[in-house]
Amino acid sequence: MDFINNLDTDTSLAILSCLDDPSDLVRASAVSRSWRGFVIKQSLSKSLCLKLFHQLARVDRTLETSNEESSGSISSVYALEREHRVYALLAKGCTSSPIKSCVDDAITASSTDRLPEESILNTLDERERIGGTPSYWSSSGHHKTSVPETLLYKLKGDLCVITELSIQPFQDFFDPGRPIYSSHYVRFRFGHLDNKSQDKNNYVWTYTSQQFPMAQENRLQNFKLPEPVLCIGGFVLIEFLGRVQRCDIDDLYYICVTHVKAMGRSLAKSFRVVDPDESGKFGLKVLSYSDPQEMNEKEEEEAGPSVFRPMRNRNLEQLVNFLHSHSTDVQYVWPESDEDDESDEEEV
């Protein structure tokens, strides 16, 4: 029975609104012209996206080409068709793209005890030691345990669906008792830069998680969000609340982290956020209508296996400027290589 053509609009809408899989909705729109017209006219793709991710209620316009941002009015029919295409792609990308690590870069820390050896950049590397040297970020020390700390990261796209975040506290194997410098609790915020603010470091946070208790254990601790969250703008702020471990050397409390990871689905290849404002409203621009899952698989095949994470030019420049402007007696231990071993044997 073709209920679209034989039932009233409200009944047909109630039936199709039960579809919660984007692929099923796309299949329904391909049944016939009348079915496609009904799906488009009733904005069912948009409704499904809003049901999956309420953060998308902040989208105030959709764009497909660069000249649309300055063009005049368009027909209502074309606007509905474009809206259907955009939200159908968005629903598919948010639910079927592969789940991967979404952290792209480390931006800043609220404090750092010693630069550059205890920089936030160390938390991007999964290794606990690099060439025999411990790899971690350390806050500055405080007498009060209530002083919080934050780490700010850039994600791999303006739109990322985050499902879980992981943090590994640092354990100091050189101090008596091998202390672990975790925090009591951790909280996460997702958001974007405030483009209208004169302060380039002003952020608008559109999502704030609950407080998760941290264990004082040297392991990668996973914090699963109650439901997948769409990060709009591509920035995540990690808040460490409450200091646990005191350093016996200076009698101050520290928070130290070895590694940070955010798992989810990046839509960087498909979408870009346009002009987000302080109220959270933003435009959504389509970069490609290619299947997000197929693009990710193709990118993995072309990239091949990766052993080392290259240092970004910006981070390298910061490190070089710091070393030029600060005298330091820090001894760096570089990774051992077979060539070094061979040269040592020859000298002997």
Cβ-proximal residues to 281 (8 Å cutoff; 6+ apart), any chain: 58, 59, 60
Flag whether 307 is in a domain: no
Cβ-proximal residues to 89 (8 Å cutoff; 6+ apart), any chain: 270, 286, 289, 292
Number of domains into which the chain is organized: 2
Cα atoms in the 13 Å half-sphere on the side-chain side of 156: 18
pLDDT for residue 322: 45
Residues 122 and 56 in one domain: no
Instruction: Return the closest-CA partner of residue 235 out of 120, 139, 102, 110.
Output: 102
User: Which residue in this structure is represented by tokens 């808040």?
Assistant: 239
Which region holds residue 165: left if phi is over 0, alpha if psi is between -120 and 50, else beta? beta
Residues 106 and 90 in one domain: no
For residue 39, count CB atoms less than 10 angstroms from its CB and return exposed for 0-12, middle for 13-18, buried for 19 or more. buried
Flag whether 294 is in a domain: no
Residues 87 and 172 in one domain: no
Residues 81 and 163 in one domain: no
Which is more confident, 176 or 306? 176
Flag whether 246 is in a domain: yes
Among 51, 74, 94, residue at a domain's last position: 94
Q: Which long-range contacts (CB under 8 A, 24 or more apart) does 206-210 make?
A: 206/55, 206/58, 206/232, 206/233, 206/280, 207/55, 207/231
Cα atoms in the 13 Å half-sphere on the side-chain side of 184: 9
Among 77, 94, 111, residue at a domain's last position: 94
Structural domain harbouring 80: 1-94
pLDDT for residue 195: 72
Q: What is the pLDDT of residues 183-226, one digit of tens each?
A: 999 999 999 988 766 566 789 899 999 999 999 999 999 999 99
> Which residues make beta-bridge pairs with 208?
189
Q: Where are the alpha helices (DSSP H) in the chain?
A: 3-6, 9-16, 22-29, 33-41, 44-52, 76-96, 292-303, 313-325, 338-347
Flag whether 24 is in a domain: yes
Residues 103 and 251 in one domain: yes
What CATH number is attached to the domain comprising 228? 2.60.120.260
CA 264 to chain CA mean position, Å: 7
Residue 257's pLDDT band, with cuts at 50, 70 and 90, is very high
Instruction: Return the closest-CA partner of residue 316 out of 135, 103, 105.
Output: 105
User: Which residue in this structure is represented by tokens 């040269």?
Assistant: 343
Residues 134 and 199 in one domain: yes
Instruction: Return the closest-CA partner of residue 210 out of 222, 219, 221, 223.
Output: 223
Q: What is the pLDDT of residues 119-129, one digit of tens each?
A: 999 999 999 99
Residues 69 and 141 in one domain: no
Q: Would strands 59-63 and 282-286 be described as parallel, antiparallel, or unpaired?
A: parallel
Residues 186 and 259 in one domain: yes
Residues 50 and 142 in one domain: no
Token pair belonging to 345: 């044997």
| Per-range mean pLDDT, top range of 86-90, 93-97, 304-308, 325-329 | 86-90
Residues 68 and 174 in one domain: no
